[in-house]
Structure 1
Amino acid sequence: MVSADSLFGPIDPAPDAGYVDAPPRMGFFTDTSVCIGCKACEVACKEWNLVPDHGLDLLGMSYDNTGALTANSWRHVAFIEQPRPLGRQTPALAGTPTGPSGSAHMAEIASTTPGVPDTDPGLPPAPHPEPAGRMAAGPEFLGMPGTDLPGRQGGGERTDLRWLMSSDVCKHCTHAACLDVCPTGSLFRTEFGTVVVQEDICNGCGYCIPACPYGVIDQRKGDGRAWKCTLCYDRIGEGMTPACAQACPTESIQYGVLDELRERAQQRVERLHADGVPEARLYGHDPNDGVGGDGAFFLLLDEPEVYGLPPDPIVTTRDLPDMWRRAGVAALTMAAAVAVAFVGRS
């Protein structure tokens, strides 16, 4: 893959947009390992930004009633259910006594359980490990009759559902194709490096919608204009935290200086790897990726496709300079051919 930086050169988006003495670039880091799917971010976003009701539609899948980012859903909490074997915990817990010593042992086991984050500076404390440890031990430990219960494979290794939850949002790309194609200047880069739509200037042409590599921007029915997350431009301009991050009870959504968030995110991934969660990875944090890095990036516990994210996003306007150059050469060639033919006849 050819990186966006190799095509356009590395940039800091706000100074590149003409801001003198721009403040540090601000953004979101969403740690999906501590998201509980409460949808407080969705509600806070709608309330603060006066986003219309999306409508109650359970979509026939899980507990997801929004399905995707739309003009009326600037935050979308994805619910993904996965069967996951947890049997490796059972031998360690078999015959574990109850009481203080047993609880301590369960806490030790649960601290290495994938999907159960440990405490980490700057993050909320992990859920109490004892219930998770008891459930992982199986019905024998709980004193329940029978061993061939739903979720058990042949009475042996216990399999349970793993919930992957993630609050998706506009990525506020470093190289934003939506900005390249907007004919009215409705889309603009802010001094914080974010991308905002000015609804009073948008003419509803819709060019920005196919230009977005993430499928974030959408047109509102009965309105026609484009809408998306503004990263609460009005709030951050006053030194406030965006509504979604302010409302998040687990600090899954973290707002701050982008460089600092990237450092914090890397430390979090390293901690999860050390705690036995090798699948933890960052998405959208790399300034050398196809969009020059995102202003909103994520810690994921599975492949991006599982969360509905493109695995290898590329700024869709990356070939425009070459296309214009070739078109210019073709036009000059045709003009020269016409001139030669004209001269030859005379």
Structure 2
Amino acid sequence: MGSLVGRNLLAGAAPDIAPPPDAPPRMGFFTDTSVCIGCKACEVACKEWNGVPEDGLEFTGMSYDNTQGLDADTWRHVAFIEQDKPMGRAETGAAGDLRWLMASDVCKHCTHAACLDVCPTGSLFRTEFGTVVVQEDICNGCGYCVPACPYGVIDRREGDGRAWKCTMCYDRIGVGMEPACAKACPTESIQYGPLDELRERAALRVDQLHDQGVDDARLYGHDPDDGVGGDGAFFLLLDEPEVYGLPPDPVVTTRDLPSMWRHAGLAAAGLLGGVVAAFAVHGRAGGGR
């Protein structure tokens, strides 16, 4: 796999650039939602290790999920989705069948990360592990990264103004430790490791579930040819991405910037040419008096 270190990538295939001999492999998360039990140990471990403030603990009246979504104060979010639907073809499908879909969401650490593209201070950077991290000490709170993220992950903290999100526990993985969420997960729903190995493991897991009659099992964010060049954190889902609040076809939001700048440059050149021509005609007209 080509090295992603030190490069911002817009849309398109990542070039196959050989990493330095001593570079670590790209690391990532594989979240297998089929074994998530909704315990929220990952949320608690993330907050404890990273010193993330509490996020309100509001009772929504709509779900057992009281954190509702990812934001500056929730870097791991376990969704609870109640469905009147059997799990697979092995079940009866009789009226009253119910299943819970539980999934621990997180920053996707995209290959083509729009938040990196728009950050004016260099606060956002790509690490030697291929992950995307915010340096909060040089974040100026401009907020450009917030609408740039196709997943709605990154957010500014109220009363602080700076942007915050999952770092994949950069301080831990730098010394050979697992991220706190993966370490705390009791069912190994959250798996951490070299991204290529995780993709292979995930494909085998989907095949296993299909053999067991779970026909809806599919991977999300694993494809290097998708609109963000593949995610560093990808998922095994048991239903359509929209059910989990995920965009079905995410695209890096800065994809069209090069063509936009080209069109803007051509328009500016045309305008400048018109102004020069107007002055030339005016000069000739003035010289004939």
TM-score, normalising length from structure 1?
Answer: 0.76
The aligned runs of 1:167-186 (5 Å cut-off) are 167-186=104-123
User: Which residue in 2 is equivalent to 1:208?
Assistant: 145
What CA deviation, in whole Å up to 9, does each residue of 1:297-333 have, x standing for no partner? 0000000000000001010000000011111111111
CA deviation after TM superposition for structure 1 residue 61, in Å: 1.5
Aligned residues: 275
Letter in 1 for 2:73: N
Q: Which has the larger radius of gyration?
A: 1
Distance 1:315 1:276, change over 3 A: same
2:47 maps to 1:43: no
Counterpart of 1:328 (choices 240, 243, 265) is 265
Q: Distance in 1 between matches of 2:21 and 2:184?
A: 32
Task: Give me the whole-angstrom Cα distance separating, in 1, the residues matched to 2:87 and 2:185.
Answer: 29
Taking only aligned residues, the RMSD between alpha carbons, in angstroms, comes to 2.1
Cα distance in 2 for partners of 1:86, 1:179 equals 39
Q: For residues 178 and 85 of structure 1, what CA distance do their matches in structure 2 show? A: 39
Q: Note closer, same or farther for the CA distance 1:197–1:336 as it changes in structure 2 (3 Å cut).
A: same
1:218 to 142, 152, 155: 155
* Among 7, 10, 14, the residue aligned to 1:10: 14
Deviation at 1:21, TM superposition (A): 4.8
Q: How does 1:122-161 map to 2 (within 5 A)?
A: 157=94, 159-161=96-98
Contact 1:14 1:191 in 2 (8 A): no
Higher helix share: 1
SS of the aligned residue for 1:8 comes to: coil
Structure 2: distance between partners of 1:198 and 1:21: 24
Alignment of 1:272 with 2:272, yes or no, is: no
Whole-angstrom distance in 1 between the partners of 2:129 and 2:172: 12
Partner amino acid, structure 1, of 2:134 = V
Query: Which residue does 1:72 correspond to in 2?
Result: 73
Matches within 5 A, 1:79-90: 79-85=80-86
Q: Matches of 2:248 and 2:21 in 1, distance apart?
A: 35
CA drift of 1:14 comes to: 10
Q: Alpha-carbon deviations, 1:110-129, whole Å to 9, x = none?
A: xx56xxxxxxxxxxxxxxxx
- Provide structure 2 residue ranges, at least 5 long, that are not aligned to the other structure: 1-8, 284-289
Match of 1:33 in 2: 34
Q: Is the 8 A contact 1:85 1:158 kept in 2?
A: no
Residue 83 of structure 1 and its aligned partner are, at CA, apart by: 1.1
The separation in 2 between residues aligned to 1:180 and 1:305, in whole angstroms, is 26
Letter in 1 for 2:44: V
Shift of 1:334: 1.3
The 1:13/1:36 distance shift into structure 2, 3 A limit, reads farther
- What displacement does 1:6 show? 10
- Amino acid aligned to 1:187: L
Equivalent residue for 1:252?
189
Q: TM-score, normalised by structure 2?
A: 0.90
Q: In the aligned structure 2, how far is the partner of 1:87 from the partner of 1:341?
A: 72
SS of equivalent to 2:42: helix
With 248-257 and 47-56 compared, the bigger mean Cα shift is at 47-56
Give distance in 1, aligned partners of 2:198 and 2:171: 21
Which digits, 9 at most, give the CA deviation of each residue in 1:158-207, with x for residues without a partner? 53220100000000000000001111110011111000000001011100
Measure, in 1, the Cα distance between the counterparts of 2:280 and 2:83.
73
